[in-house]
Structure 1
């Protein structure tokens, strides 16, 4: 439900923006800000989500996200002018920031290793379902009067928030958070509910206790846990005194979230009606229908990506997905350039441009979309996980916001074809980053994954040690040569 909230807002704004601009008489700059500012506002929610979830628990943080977004949806639905609409975007953005952090963290912490990739990718699945629902809402209310239709489109976002309040009644708390609070008995009961076997549940409990710093021999139902149980000192461990492994994790988290958005996702999804307009589709209804088809492709294929993560591994999925996105951007940039420079309607080029859009959302949904959430939510140690993910979400939202708030200006400055060539170049850099720095995490427990990181930041130490060893070997050899030779020599 939290992910549907975010997806719905992305999808519904792509079409609602057409009618908001007409009704409130907005400029392109105002529309860009309205469309993309939610990403920036969500930074506040994502920054607070890690500490909040360590304080009140993962489950109630999910409810907090839903309540905040519910209020934001009401503000947007009843907004009489641009200023109040921006207030609604601000409130909803905080809710989105909370949801983006807590959904993958909670899912990763309750999932067994055998299916963690699939289960942790479900937030991306439901983001896509929400986006599709937003597209459908656009089309359904497009025939209503100008000042009513877009308000209904935005106001319906309150419905999933209500459902979350009911769903929390049957949700267990994260076993890792319970152990961090010293509530061992509750954590044991939860692990028996969410593990494949009793033996696995006991093994997971031992791994969590070890990670938190509790003796494996301790069988008390409730104990007092030292620092970090409420998130204290975590930011210091992340940024001031990180280990080589944590440095590597942070770099990977920054890179994954940056490239997921900098490759132009918002330009294709949020501005798909504008892209289709540049491709030669002029009718508003036809543009909205085309975006619905994009949503169907994006939603249906993300399930394949979720399955591929556990079957082929995270790193492999990242590399193939980004390669497909690079090719799609190159194709889309080419056909949009052909269309813009042609004086007559080029139907074949329009068809190829639409196919390129569908190819991009397909390759994104089958890899980069779900893989980013899975990878970032599973690599951090338990005490750093919530805040570590929140840092990545911050990078994700800032990058997405910049793309959203500059795309209309960018395509005017370097043409829309040139904009997608730029995204292609960013994708190439991203592929190199993934190939160089991402270790494979499939089939490892959350506690085992930490040992896969840190080698990149130890390379200087390794080179220094090798050089020192060579000097020592050279000195010892020199000493041997100056000694009196014997038979063994």
Structure 2
């Protein structure tokens, strides 16, 4: 209940003390310029989504045309995740060297070359060379898009904006599914080449539109270009006061005196990236160690819970469920892509309203139930292969769609949001690249072993295995990941470092905030 009175009437400010703690200021409207920057930066991840989606259908025809085995198919599909490791590992240092914006352009250029090579591939070895080049470009894009978006986003809408990379990945997957279906009408030897080669077209447009973006304010400060950083912060903040506070926080993190007002300054040498890996891996503080465990953990569990297998091998899963015609399987995958995309759009509007933890925990819980249902349906079908069970087929289709829905509404976007917002400024680029590397390697290993795995323990057993991993993930998230909603990037250092006792730290922070707000209210009451 709201106890506030319409006017002060000379009453002491003490009566207003509880108000700031329970009645926070009205949330500002979303910053349109920050949204535009986030859209342009995140659009580069559509390249990964397209490759994942189109390869799902292309492998059906590649196998028939090049006469390759299931093991070669596994390697071809999953190797992109391993190759992208090289790109994500290099992207951190590259983005500190040439800037976030030009790193995005660089990633689009590399993917363009990879798509062309895959489109003109004449044999399996040639195709693998194209996968290698494209994988490096994907690694760059996966690392830099969330980092840039986090660095231009105001705290009030950071969850909304930093979920955009996952939105565009899903859009890319859907485009890839549609492309597979459209080009499947062509002759077999041409269809899959068009499917893969057409990915070069969006990379050209992405490289051009990214040049319209401003550079990241945090990178500009790291280079000593304070005047330019201030201009960007003025445009991407919810108010002039917030822009000043953000600039002060970034200057402090970069080692620049707060009272420095010059447009161009000499930044301390330690801010240019030297010694970052030692600080990150060899001699981390308790806060950095907690951040590293949280960031790499959430990226590992995002992939090890089975999403790559469901997305990349959905035609095979649908075939196991009783759908045998190629075009019908491709249409079913389009339904998967559509559902996945719709729910990621819902998630973007919930992240800053509900928070990271509630969405994450409910998402993983739904994934566990869906995987158990899918495993049950597939196991029943396996044991009744002599005749079709309509209810079991319907259960499999429903649980596949519910699995990707729950993934998209929580674990999918939050993994990128969380790992891009919790690293301190000095460690952000390399820390994020390490988290992305864990994601891509896990995805690659899982994709390259899925067929062999389900042949060994059955496809239903594989789903139960994924459900078990997702259960471990839920416990990990519940115990080790604090809520970061509404916190500035520079406040993360205060939240992390107490590991399993982070809740006590959060309570203390809230008490301190309420106390500060109370002092401000008291001052206001005294003036009245």
CA deviation after TM superposition for structure 1 residue 160, in Å: 1.5
TM-superposed deviation, 1:188: 0.3
Query: Does 1:378 pair with 2:421?
Result: yes
What is the CA-CA distance between 1:456 and the residue it aligns to?
1.9
Residue 200 of structure 1: how far off its partner (Å)? 1.2
Distance 1:353 1:331 in 2: 7
User: Counterpart in 1 of 2:329?
Assistant: 287
Give the C-alpha shift of residue 41 in structure 1.
0.4
Q: Which of 333-342 and 306-315 deviates more?
A: 306-315
Point out where structure 1 has 5 or more consecutive residues left out of the alignment.
463-489
Q: Is the aligned partner of 1:389 residue 2:432? A: yes
2:358 is equivalent to residue 316 of structure 1 = yes
Given the alignment of the two structures, is residue 43 of structure 1 paired with residue 64 of structure 2, yes or no? no
Matched, 1:363 2:403: no
* Match among 94, 100, 116 for residue 158 of structure 2: 116
Match status 1:127 vs 2:184: no
Moved more, 190-199 or 24-33: 190-199
Q: Give the aligned partner of residue 470 of structure 2.
A: 427
Q: CA deviation at 1:132?
A: 0.1
Please identify runs of 4+ aligned residues in structure 1 that moved more than 3 A.
none
Deviations 1:367-399 (A, max 9, x none): 001000000000000110011010001110111
1:253 aligned residue (287, 292, 295): 295
Q: Structure 1, residues 86-120: CA drift from partner, whole Å, max 9, x if none?
A: 00000000000000000000000001111110100
Aligned pair partner of 1:414 in 457, 469, 474: 457
Q: Is the 8 A contact 1:281 1:287 kept in 2?
A: yes
44, 47, 51: which one aligns with 1:9: 51
Q: Distance in 1 between matches of 2:399 and 2:499?
A: 36
1:213 equivalenced with 2:255 (yes/no): yes
Aligned with 1:229: secondary structure?
helix
Deviations 1:170-220 (A, max 9, x none): 100000000011100000001111111111111111111111111110001
**Residues 224-303 of structure 1 correspond to what in structure 2 (within 5 A)?**
224-303=266-345
Please tell me whether the aligned partners of residues 51 and 230 of structure 1 are also in contact (alpha carbons under 8 angstroms). no
CA deviation after TM superposition for structure 1 residue 457, in Å: 8.0
Per-residue CA deviation, residues 281-332 of structure 1 (Å, 9 max, x unaligned), is 0000000000001000000110111122111111111111110000000000
Q: Secondary structure at the match of 1:219?
A: coil
CA distance in 2 between partners of 1:339 and 1:197 (Å): 59
- CA distance in 2 between partners of 1:210 and 1:228 (Å): 13
Equivalenced residue count is: 460
2:206 maps to 1:164: yes
- 1 CA distance for matches of 2:284 and 2:496? 12
How far 1:159 sits from its partner (Å)? 1.3
Q: Give the equivalent residue in structure 1 for 2:105.
A: 63
CA contact (8 A) 2:78 2:447 kept: yes
CA distance in structure 1 between the partners assigned to 2:320 and 2:401 by the alignment: 16
How far apart, CA to CA, are the structure 2 residues paired with 1:47 and 1:232?
Answer: 16
1: distance between equivalents of 2:327 and 2:501?
57
Give the Cα separation in 1 of the matches to 2:476 and 2:466: 15
Q: Which residue of 1 aligns with 2:442?
A: 399
**2:237 maps to 1:199:** no
Q: Is the 1:120–1:373 Cα contact (8 Å) retained in structure 2?
A: yes
1:338 aligns with 2:380: yes
- Out of 279-288 and 154-163, give the one that drifted further: 154-163
Which residue in the other structure is 2:135 paired with?
93
Q: In the aligned structure 2, how far is the partner of 1:137 from the partner of 1:181?
A: 43
1: CA distance, partners of 2:238 / 2:205:
28
SS in structure 2 at match of 1:215: coil
SS of 1:257's partner is: helix
Q: Distance in 2 between matches of 1:94 and 1:416?
A: 31
Partner of 2:39: none
Match of 1:447 in 2: 490
How far did residue 225 of structure 1 move? 0.8
Native 8 Å contact 1:411 1:419 kept in 2: yes
Q: How far has the Cα of 1:458 moved from its partner? A: 8.6
Is the 8 Å Cα contact of residues 379 and 449 (structure 1) preserved in structure 2? yes
Contact in 2 for aligned 1:244/1:458 (Cα 8 Å): no
Measured after TM superposition, the shift of residue 431 of structure 1 is 0.3
TM-score by length of 1: 0.93
C-alpha distance in 2 between matches for 1:67 and 1:233: 29
Residue 132 of structure 2 aligns to a residue in which SS? helix
| In structure 2, distance between residues paired with 1:227 and 1:320 | 44
Deviation of 1:246 (Å) = 0.3
Cα deviation 1:404-445 (Å, max 9, x = unaligned): 000000110010000000000000000000000001100000
Determine which of 16, 22, 29 is the counterpart of 2:71.
29
Task: Provide TM-score, normalisation by structure 2.
Answer: 0.86
**What is residue 8 of structure 2 aligned with on the other side?**
none
Contact kept, 8 Å, 2:255 with 2:271, in 1: the verdict is no
- Structure 2 distance, partners of 1:199, 1:52, is 32
